[in-house]
A and B are shown apart, each in its own frame.
Chain A
Amino acid sequence: MAYEHLLIFGGVCVATWCLVIYFWPRLLLYVYKRGLLVKGFGDGPVPINTLYTQPQALFADPLHVTLPAGSSNLMSVGTNRDTLYVVGWLDLSKGPLIFCVPDMAGRYYSVQFTDPSNNTNFAYVGKRTTGTKAGDYLITGPGWKEPVPQAVTRISSPNNSVIVIGRVFVENNTDLPAAYGLARQMQLKPLSH
């Protein structure tokens, strides 16, 4: 009986056990990364540091929109039927980004900022947390120490990669164009000096 074999097997087994549990959320969100940056939701891949707004047709009737082959179905399967989605993948390694929201005039909306390394939401912009007035937010990566421009609220990300998921409430189909117009006004731009 060779104990070294038991030790090797046991060590590898326990290490894999812990690593898989630790990395499970990251592996899960890799599907979302691929959906965004590689497959896209019908209009081709969504470039890094840009926002994709769920089209009105896809929200109005997801069953009657045919997506091109190879598209991700993340915007049409298992989604909610209450809000338009605005999604994007940020890379802050080349500098922070300014995230602008328009005046939502009391309409419910939320924007979650998710750390893709562990699937936790480190910040929110939206009716619950910041109100519905127009606002500019500076999203900075770890270690960024320069001064924040005036009239801009800073959001510090623990990771250079960030998933942004915005949700803009749609009351009904009549309200859809208004909601879409507001959702489209959520924008990302680089911080210019």
Chain B
Amino acid sequence: MSRTYTYFAALIGVICVAFIIYMLFFAHTRTVRSDVVQGVLIGFGMAFVTAQAYARLKATKVNGWITMFGLGVPGNGMLLRAAHAQLFPGPVNVPQEAMYWWTHSDGASHTLSGQHDYIMHFPAGQLPPNDAFWSLTMGDARNHYVPNPIHRYSVGDHSGLAQNPDGSVDIYIQRIAPAGHESNWLPAPVGEFILWLRVYIPGQAILDGEYKVPPVDKVR
């Protein structure tokens, strides 16, 4: 759901619609072969645009975090399945087993980049409700892991996060280790990056859509 990808999908849509209008009103001498070839190409383009548009319609976006409900659930419908495949490409879990969120932007909708420092602040008692565990994973612009001196690629409830005195939890997402907060450091790359939040056996508040994932806030 990056901006570039949205523009790309929109461009394909405009080309397809323009071509269909051209076919309706301006086409003159044609062969059956070009009818078929162009029909397949335009059909492909329209399918891509439809799936992308429907994915944006059905995605839940809160504080920059994107998720979708109904992933992998039997009977979820062919249009929704195609939409799921756009934003969550893979054989992922059903919501009751695990929920996934990803983001490439901070709370103010700016693209996440290692040029800045970020804090993800979970207020006391606001960690993701679950009956198993949760984690926050770093990926570079191509979703690859990010090399760092302490070989840490994710943090979560089993990585030894320290609590603030008031019970809240801050995760420091930055390129350089935050002095005094190393246990809560999620190392970022030099360039742009994305984050994945996974919650296994999510609590009812998540399944009901009531739980709001806190934003990733830029501090520098």
Contacts and interface: CB of A to CB of B under 8 A. Distances in A.
A80 B198 contact: yes
Interface residues of A, number: 53
A169 B154 CA distance: 14
B97 A81 contact: no
Given A12-B36, A12-B39, A119-B72, A17 B91 contact: no
Contacts of B36: 8-9, 12
Interface residues of B, number: 59
Contacts of A120: 72-76, 81
Contacts of A64: 151
A1 B39 contact: no
A92 B143 CA distance: 34
B51 A21 contact: yes
B91 A163 contact: yes
Nearest to B132: A108
A123 to B, nearest CB: 10
B47 to A, nearest CB: 4
A121 B72 contact: yes
Nearest to A112: B93
B77 to A, nearest CB: 10
B85 A126 contact: no
Nearest to B76: A120
A172 B36 CA distance: 56
A103 interface: no
